[in-house]
Structure formats: C-alpha cells, structure tokens
Amino acid sequence: MVRRAERGVGLAIRKSQASGDVVPPGSNGGPQADYERNGQTVRVTHPVRNENRMSPSEVFANGTDCVQTYAVTDVSDARFDEALTEAKDEGNLSRASAAALSLRGVRLVP
C-alpha cells in the first residue's frame, strides 16, 4: 500500500509539473552565479521564474527518495503492478526494490 501511495505522490507531481504548478525537471539545476572556466568568466543568466511554484524537493527527504519515487511513477500501470508482484514474490517491498524492478527491462530515453 505504501508503494502505491508513493506512486500516487509521484503521479500528482508529474501532473502538476505539466500544468506549471510545480517546477519541472531541470529548472533548478546548474550554476547560480557567474564563475571562471579556463581563465574566462562564464556569465550565468537565469530565465524569469515563478517563485510561487513548489519544488519537488519540498516533498522528498533527499535525492534518492525522489529518484526512486519517479522510477515507480514513470512506468505504465501494468509495469508497476508487475514490479510489485515481483517484489512480493522476492519478499522485498522496499522502495529501492520496487524502483529497480519497475525499471527492469524498461528502455530509458535520454
């Protein structure tokens, strides 16, 4: 039941990212200030952001929790159910196990 709840949280976040209410992936990363590389100053410019949007980091305790939750979120319902069945059969319903089993055989698009 906990893994289904975590998947529900992940699905809600993905839906909110699509609608613009939650910061989408890749929007918070990168350097925050100008820096020097090979003796040259690299200017960092940032697009105007809606600071009222929530970040997924406000939901997850750490990056591992985030990655593992998205692993069970970004697969089909059938694949998720299959992964849970495999995890039950193995006697390991941990988040890490469910995430790994969800991604088994899934081709990730870079």
Contacts of residue 48, Cβ cutoff 8 Å, sequence gap at least 6: none
Query: Long-range contacts made by residues 1-5, C-beta under 8 angstroms, separation at least 24?
Result: 2/93, 3/72, 3/84, 3/87, 3/93, 3/95, 3/98, 4/84
Question: Which residue range(s) make up the domain with 99?
Answer: 2-23+30-103
How confident is the model at residue 110, as a pLDDT? Answer: 46
Tens-binned pLDDT, residue by residue, of the chain (110 aa) = 788 888 899 899 999 888 888 877 766 666 667 888 888 888 877 655 556 778 888 888 888 888 888 888 888 888 888 888 888 888 887 888 888 877 776 555 44
The answer to whether residues 93 and 4 touch, using CB atoms and an 8 Å cutoff, is: no
50 vs 66: CA distance, rounded Å: 22
pLDDT at 12: 92
Q: What is the pTM of this model?
A: 0.67
Domain contains 109: no
Q: Given this model, what pLDDT does residue 30 score?
A: 65
In a domain, 108, yes or no: no
N-to-C CA span, the chain: 31
pLDDT of residue 51: 65
Under the phi-then-psi rule, with left for phi > 0, alpha for psi from -120 to 50, and beta for the rest, what region is 54? beta
CB atoms within 10 A of CB 97: 19
Question: Over the Cα atoms of the chain, what is R_g?
Answer: 18
If one counts the domains in the chain, the total is 1
